[in-house]
Amino acid sequence: MAAVYRFVDDCEDKMLLGNKGANLVTMTKIGLRVPPGFIVSIEAYAEYKRTGRLPIEDIENGLRWLESVTGKRFGEGLMVSVRSSAPVSMPGMMDTMLNIKSKAHMISAIKKIFGSWDNLRAVEYRRLNNIPRDIGTSAVIQAMVMGNKDDRSGTGVVFTRNASTGERHLFGEYISRAQGEDLVSGARTPSPIEELRSAMPEVYAELESVAHTLESHFRDMQDVEFTIESGTLYILQTRAGKRSGQAAVKIAVDMAKEGLISREEAVKRVKPEDLKALLHKRVKSTEKHEVVARGLNAAPGAAAGKVVFHPLEALRLAEKNEKVILVRPETSPDDIQGIAAADGVLTSRGGLTSHAAIVTRAMGKPCICGAEEIKIDLKAEEFEARGHVVHKGMEITIDGTSGTVYLGSLPLEEVEVTAELQELLSWADGFRRLGVRANADTADMMKLAKSFGCEGIGLCRTERQFNAPERLSAIREYILARTEAEKAEALETLRLYQEQDFVAIFRELDGLPIIIRLLDLPLHEFLPSETDATVPRVREMVQQLREINPMIGHRGVRLGVTNPEIYRMQVEAICQAKSMVEPKVKVNAAVMIPQVITVQELLWVKRQVKAAGLKIGVMMETVRACMRAGKLAHEADFFSFGTNDLTQAVYSFSREDAEKKFLATYLRLGILQDNPFEIIDVKGVGRLMETAIMWARRNKKDIEIGVCGEHGGEPRSIRYFHQIGVDYVSCSAFRIPVARLVAAQAALDDKAGKTEAKIDTA
């Protein structure tokens, strides 16, 4: 293997030449006007690191060749640049040396470039971007062209398409009478590239044709550096251009339509983050902002508004069309109206699966949770953070995508579900195996989820329907009832409400499948806190229902077993609603039992609701249910993994407390690689899921298995669920486009044989 390669040599190996070097060779080969040069390879870099020696003879041969092709002598007309070129693009992290005209200077320049692989910013960049530290860089030596030679000279950078919208036109800037450094350093203000069209129309036209040639060859949008010397255009570098989420989608779809790439390639190219950025409001990036606190990025999007500390205050202001941010230590079902009225929610406690996080994500509202640095004084109605005191009525902006809180009301950019995105996702639907359903609790949410392309509802949490004030008071009446007659009366009121809700939901779904989960929350969640409970009977019940560990307490099917009238009432409401809308509207509803640990519970519930004729499934969210999956599969019509509770159970981490207390430290110290409540833990929770799926399918081959925990909308987890044979994922409405895209990417990877081994059981 040679140590030095000329641009005209037949080697385009990125691992040997780095990106920049390999692309210069390619551009030379396809006939673009590239100043001649050669590359001191990554092999030579490795040798230099081992021995401290450069391949001097090969470099001198390279120089002699440069002199012969340029017809100029080194130092007398011929100057060179020396630039770094790694296999992975690390923009601006390593050094560049220009105008080199002596051999002594050039040799030290190569050493400097090689040395810059280890400079602090490059090391930090690699750490942040998970780039291995030992891949190394080559050094590209190229004849200089002079952008500062005369009035018909200049330098610039163009993207072959608009990097922010994706539209097909040159997008970039240039400076006349200047070298590349003037552009990068910001010393002079560049002009928009359109001005080149009037200044030098023939050069602009050539640049357009170069853009076309590059895109045809690389089949992607390119970021191109060029220099014009006395009216002649030279191309100095090309690489795939960075782009916004919107541009990524448009470019992928347009390129597929132009025949540059296949539809499969278009679907593979768009990253889940591109869609996330696209589907939510964001803070305009050009503004300067003061950060007042950071927390967990619990629900994406941005919102600006007046700070309020009480849900009813949020409601009051929202009714006057004011924008509000509800700030609470944490939220509870009691706060639901305030959350619905607010534009965004900020809490100082709670994690990514806390009440506030789940509710806002489902509503598509931005939310930051667990921002521990804000100290809230609910009485004084103010919070303090980083030396600022923010009173009720002052404005803040929250960015739930990054978890950042800013002082003041900042300008936001609107969401746009473009025609291109619809088209891309319809292609994705054709490739995927995994179904995509929504977690939605109301007809309105289902409408939204349908607009994002869900194929049904994988989880309808019925307790959410008890949140409106009149329903909350009905369930409280049931809890506070002293006699069976009082209980029955309260339940009948609730049944009528639920019936109304299901009628609306069935109409909205119009035949799409829905899984309705029977009540899961412990009853005390519907009562006020002990300090707010002023009525003696309420106080008595609050004390009676109080639990030390409510998350693993009297909830789910345990409540169904001790209070069977609740599940009976819910199933009756479902059946009644079904009979009210059929046959005009088709109903495809099933019920799901939460927190099951044994088949006896399932049999018991089935006996209670046996007349109903509904399919009954198990929410797989306890360890024991997973261990008994084979037996449960005999009796259950379907399974759906509740990965939030299952993660909590496998880790013995409280999902309400772990994120705020110690998970950040675990992640910082590298004890855990990822937050398990966000990204499925393949080695622990996943292994249990795989075992459960295996046993279940052994006993009931075609049992339908879904995932309805928050992981169902997270890209890495979705890929994994695809691999282990889950039938569908169910996630909040705003995550549906991402789930459709990633499910397709996982299937396409399978097709290309790229899927990794399922689990590392080590």
Report which residue type is found at 176: S
Would you count residue 687 as binding ligand PEP (CB under 6 A)? Answer: no
Dihedral angle, C-alpha 444, 450, 451, 455, nearest 10 °? 160
Q: CB of residue 709 vs ligand PEP: minimum separation in angstroms?
A: 3
Could you tell me the strand order of the sheet in which 37-40 lies? 4-6, 37-40, 138-143, 80-85, 96-100
Residue 305, contacted partner among Mg ion, ligand PEP, none, CB below 5-8 A by kind: none
User: Which is nearer to ligand PEP, 264 or 645 (by Cβ)?
Assistant: 645
Q: What mask, x for binding Mg ion by CB under 5 A, covers residues 614 to 633?
A: -------x------------
Question: Smaller CB distance to Mg ion: residue 35 or 709?
Answer: 709
Residue 461 touches which of Mg ion, ligand PEP, none (Cβ within 5-8 Å per kind): ligand PEP
Report the residue from 399, 420, 423, 645 that binds Mg ion according to the rule CB under 5 A.
645
Piece of the chain touching ligand PEP by CB under 6 A; list 63-71, 90-98, 469-477, 643-651: 643-651
Instruction: Give yes or no for residue 522 binding ligand PEP (CB under 6 A).
Output: no
Q: Whose Cβ is closer to ligand PEP: residue 263's or residue 461's?
A: 461
From the list ligand PEP, Mg ion, none, pick the one residue 643 interacts with, judged by a Cβ distance below 5 to 8 Å according to partner type: ligand PEP
Contacts (Cβ under 8 Å, ≥6 apart) of 338:
308, 310, 311, 312, 313, 314, 315, 326
Candidates 37, 642, 706, 713; binder of ligand PEP (CB under 6 A) is 642
CB nearer ligand PEP, residue 222 or residue 643? 643
Compute the least distance from the CB of residue 415 to ligand PEP, in Å.
26
Question: In angstroms, what is the minimal distance from the CB of 304 to ligand PEP?
Answer: 29
Task: Kindly report the backbone phi and psi dihedral angles of residue 397, in degrees, each rounded to the nearest multiple of 5, phi listed first.
Answer: -125, 135
- 642 binds Mg ion, rule: CB under 5 A: yes
| 710 binds Mg ion, rule: CB under 5 A | no
Binding segment (CB under 6 A) for ligand PEP, from list 139-147, 281-289, 639-647, 738-746? 639-647
The span of 42-50, 246-254, 276-284, 634-642 binding Mg ion (CB under 5 A) equals 634-642
Beta-bridge partners for 291: 406
Pairing relationship of beta strands 80-85 and 77-78 according to DSSP bridges: unpaired
- 658-661: long-range pairs with CB below 8 Å, 24+: 658/351, 659/296, 659/350, 659/351, 659/352, 659/354, 659/369, 659/370, 660/349, 660/350, 660/351, 660/370, 660/372
Q: How far is the CB of 438 from Mg ion (least distance, A)?
A: 17
In the three-class reduction of DSSP (H, G, I as helix; E, B as strand; rest coil), residue 476 is classed as: helix
CB of 469 to ligand PEP, least distance (A): 22
Shortest separation between residue 464's beta carbon and ligand PEP, angstroms: 9
313 touches, from ligand PEP, Mg ion, none (C-beta below 5 to 8 Å by class):
none
Q: Give the pair of three-digit tokens for residue 744.
A: 């397709």
708 binds, options Mg ion, ligand PEP, none, Cβ within 5 to 8 A by partner type: ligand PEP
Cα distances from 108 to residues 38, 105, 112, 114, in angstroms, run 17, 5, 6, 10
Size, binding site for Mg ion by CB under 5 A: 3
In order, the DSSP letters of 667-725 are HHTTSSSS-TTTS--IIIIIHHHHHHHHHHHHHSTT-EEEE-SGGGG-HHHHHHHHHTT
Binds 519: which of Mg ion, ligand PEP, none (CB < 5-8 Å by kind) = none
Q: Which does 311 bind (CB under 5 to 8 A by kind): Mg ion, ligand PEP, none?
A: none
For residues 593 and 612, the answer to whether their CB atoms sit within 8 Å is no
Any idea which residues carry the catalytic annotation?
355, 708
Neighbours of 753 (CB within 10 A): 6
DSSP H helical ranges for 270-381: 272-278, 311-319, 336-341, 355-363
Its sign, for the CA torsion 329, 330, 334, 337, is: positive
Q: Which one of 343, 621, 681, 690 is in contact with ligand PEP (CB under 6 A)?
A: 621
Encoded tokens for 56: 């001097």
643 lines the binding site for ligand PEP (CB under 6 A): yes
Q: Report the alpha-carbon distance of residue 172 to residue 530 in Å, rounded.
A: 62
Does residue number 501 form part of the binding site for ligand PEP (CB under 6 A)?
Answer: no
Contact 577, 497 (CB under 8 A): no
Cα radius of gyration (the chain): 31
Residue from 23, 644, 717, 723 binding ligand PEP (CB under 6 A): 644
Subset of 455-474 contacting ligand PEP (CB under 6 A): 459, 461
CA-closest candidate to residue 715, choices 322, 379, 271: 271
Smaller CB separation from ligand PEP, 157 or 591: 591
Which of 376, 370, 379 shows the shortest CA–CA distance to 390?
376
Q: Which residues, listed in sequence order, are joined to residue 303 by a DSSP beta bridge?
A: 398
Q: Which is nearer to ligand PEP, 162 or 640 (CB)?
A: 640
How many residues make contact with ligand PEP (CB under 6 A)?
10
Among 254, 520, 690, 727, binds ligand PEP (CB under 6 A): 520
From ligand PEP, Mg ion, none, interface partner of 709 (C-beta below 5 to 8 A by class)? ligand PEP
Site of tokens 């009676």: 544
Structure tokens at 60: 């001198």
Asked if omega into 564 is within 30° of 0 (cis), the reply is no
CB 140 within 8 A of CB 41: no
Shortest distance, position 243 Cβ to Mg ion, whole Å: 38
Q: How far is the CB of 520 from ligand PEP (least distance, A)?
A: 6
Q: Is 522 in the site for Mg ion (CB under 5 A)?
A: no
Closest CB to ligand PEP among 518 and 571?
518
Which member of 43, 95, 225, 645 binds ligand PEP (CB under 6 A)? 645
End-to-end Cα spacing for the chain:
38
Structure tokens belonging to residue 524? 């005390």
Binds 423: which of Mg ion, ligand PEP, none (CB < 5-8 Å by kind): none
Q: Which of the stretches 139-147, 152-160, 538-546, 638-646 binds ligand PEP when contact is defined by CB under 6 A?
A: 638-646
Question: Which residues contact ligand PEP (rule: CB under 6 A)?
Answer: 459, 461, 520, 621, 642-645, 708-709
Question: Which residues contact Mg ion (rule: CB under 5 A)?
Answer: 621, 642, 645
